């Protein structure tokens, strides 16, 4: 419902702005610009979706190899000590654990649309454990807040969008996005744990946090010691090594387990094609809405207004151009993608604002969409504190994304 109102508002505001420019400024070309914007953005949305087809097919094919070979189940067992602490109300060995892990895996690979079916399956299994069918349980809230925090190990979709928009190094946002999304996830987990009185001070959690802290300490140390250009080079190199290593690891594991990796890959790749086609209407809808909103001058007015307000406090306003993407992502993934693409088109894919838009887009996921779809799929009407904890994670991701972008790109 919120998404519906936002989309309508784009067109109503654009019309009122255009009418005002026609009546008060005598701009007779403004409505022509609005119509042209709808045609251009529709074409652009289809081209972007077409470009995503191959990448989605690749990664869903790789995921299918991991599923067929049992690698995902093996990783689930390896992470079981951590999961048992985060979801203490789920019986050990319950099928929900496997579905939750597969959902997290797809999210970490940046495959949002692939994660949704796995997440809905996990919610169905969690609902079977729910004694009060209309009220969200503690495991459901923890599961969804981690989802909304958007922990992305490999932001595949964002990097593909950057490549589509002509970025010289599409993977240069890899490490900044990883740092940002880790902050939002950590804050979200802490917020839920405090509300549910979950004790995170235990050996498996401390070991995991220690490893993550050590990894990030090395990254920050490198960023301080190296110049921006060198850091960009190393960031891109690290991202490419990790990406290719994951693909190779899934294939070799499949060979070791005597899985027909080729057939498994083909089966998963077919799902990738279907997923790419399915997102076209959503991308067209929001790119058209954003295009008319910007063509009318409303977007520029909004950004300038925020910049003016921030400037009153003597703060650098270079980040303001990325705020529309940061604010939209809590409401709509496709809307945030549209604004991110629009920012790269307006400022340049390799500009500070273009890169920051990509980082804040990957900082967290679409809180209201995820809560509505996942809770709605099992008939949950009383969501308790899920929205509050999800928005806390969102806000921390926005702040972290802005600060980390300044560290890497400014």
pLDDT tens-digit readout, 232-245: 566 556 666 766 88
3-state SS class at 210: helix
In degrees and rounded to multiples of 5, residue 378 shows phi and psi of -120, 10
Tokens of 203: 């050996």
In degrees and rounded to multiples of 5, residue 150 shows phi and psi of 65, 45
Cα separation of 299 and 172, whole Å? 27
Q: Is 195 left (phi over 0), alpha (psi -120 to 50) or beta?
A: alpha
Average pLDDT, integer, range 52-60: 74
In degrees and rounded to multiples of 5, residue 91 shows phi and psi of -60, 145
In degrees and rounded to multiples of 5, residue 328 shows phi and psi of -75, -30
DSSP secondary structure, 61-97, as one string: HHHHHHHHHTHHHHHHHHTHHHHHHH-TTSPTT-HHH
**Residue 39 pLDDT > 60:** yes
Residues 6+ away with beta carbon under 8 Å from 327: 398
- More confident call, 161 vs 357: 357
DSSP secondary structure, 244-301, as one string: HHHHHHHHHHHHHTT--HHHHHHHHHHHHHHHHHHTHHHHHHHHHHHHHHHHTTHHHH
Residue 252 pLDDT level (bands cut at 50, 70, 90): very high
**Residue 373 pLDDT > 80:** no
Average pLDDT, integer, range 184-197: 89
- More confident call, 286 vs 390: 390
pLDDT the model gives residue 386: 83
Q: Decide if 361 contacts 312 (C-beta within 8 A).
A: no
Prediction pTM value: 0.68
Tokens of 130: 């729910």
Q: How far is CA 47 from the centre of its chain?
A: 21
Average pLDDT, integer, range 321-329: 81
Query: What angle, rounded to 10 degrees, do the helices at 30-69 and 2-25 form?
Result: 160
Report the candidate in 344, 375, 404 with the shortest Cα–Cα distance to residue 135: 375
């Amino acid at each position: 419902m919120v998404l519906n109102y936002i989309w309508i508002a784009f067109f109503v505001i654009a019309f009122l702005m255009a009418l005002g420019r026609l009546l008060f400024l005598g701009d007779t070309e403004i409505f022509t610009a609005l119509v042209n914007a709808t045609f251009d953005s529709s074409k652009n949305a289809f081209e972007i979706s077409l470009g995503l087809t191959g990448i989605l097919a690749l990664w869903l094919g790789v995921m299918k190899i991991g599923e067929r070979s049992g690698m995902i189940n093996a990783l689930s067992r390896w992470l079981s000590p951590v999961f048992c602490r985060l979801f203490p109300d789920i019986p050990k060995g319950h099928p929900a654990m496997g579905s939750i892990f597969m959902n997290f895996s797809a999210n970490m690979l940046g495959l949002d649309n692939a994660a949704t079916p796995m997440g809905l399956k996990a919610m169905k299994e969690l609902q079977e454990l729910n004694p009060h069918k209309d009220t969200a349980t503690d495991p459901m809230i923890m599961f969804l807040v981690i989802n909304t925090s958007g922990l992305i190990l490999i932001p595949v979709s964002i990097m593909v969008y950057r490549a589509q928009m002509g970025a010289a190094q599409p993977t240069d946002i890899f490490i900044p996005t990883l740092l940002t999304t880790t902050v939002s996830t950590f804050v979200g987990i802490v917020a839920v744990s405090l509300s549910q009185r979950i004790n995170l001070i235990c050996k498996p959690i401390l070991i995991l946090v220690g490893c993550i802290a050590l990894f990030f300490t090395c990254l920050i140390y490198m960023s301080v010691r190296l110049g921006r250009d060198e850091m960009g080079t190393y960031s891109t190199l690290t991202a490419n090594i990790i990406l290719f290593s994951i693909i190779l690891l899934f294939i070799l594991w499949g060979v070791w387990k005597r899985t027909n990796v080729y057939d498994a890959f083909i089966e998963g790749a077919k799902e990738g094609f279907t997923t790419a086609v399915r997102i076209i209407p959503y991308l067209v809808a929001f790119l058209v809405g954003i295009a008319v909103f910007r063509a009318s001058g409303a977007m520029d007015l909004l950004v300038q207004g925020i910049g003016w307000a921030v400037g009153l406090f003597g703060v650098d306003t270079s980040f303001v151009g990325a705020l529309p993407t940061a604010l939209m992502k809590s409401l709509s993934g496709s809307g945030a993608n549209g604004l991110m693409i629009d920012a790269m088109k307006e400022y340049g894919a390799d500009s500070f604002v273009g890169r920051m838009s990509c980082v804040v887009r990957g900082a967290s996921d679409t809180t209201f969409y995820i809560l509505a779809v996942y809770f709605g799929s099992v008939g949950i009407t009383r969501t308790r504190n899920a929205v509050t904890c999800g928005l806390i994670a969102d806000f921390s991701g926005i702040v972290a994304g802005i600060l980390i972008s300044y560290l890497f790109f400014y």
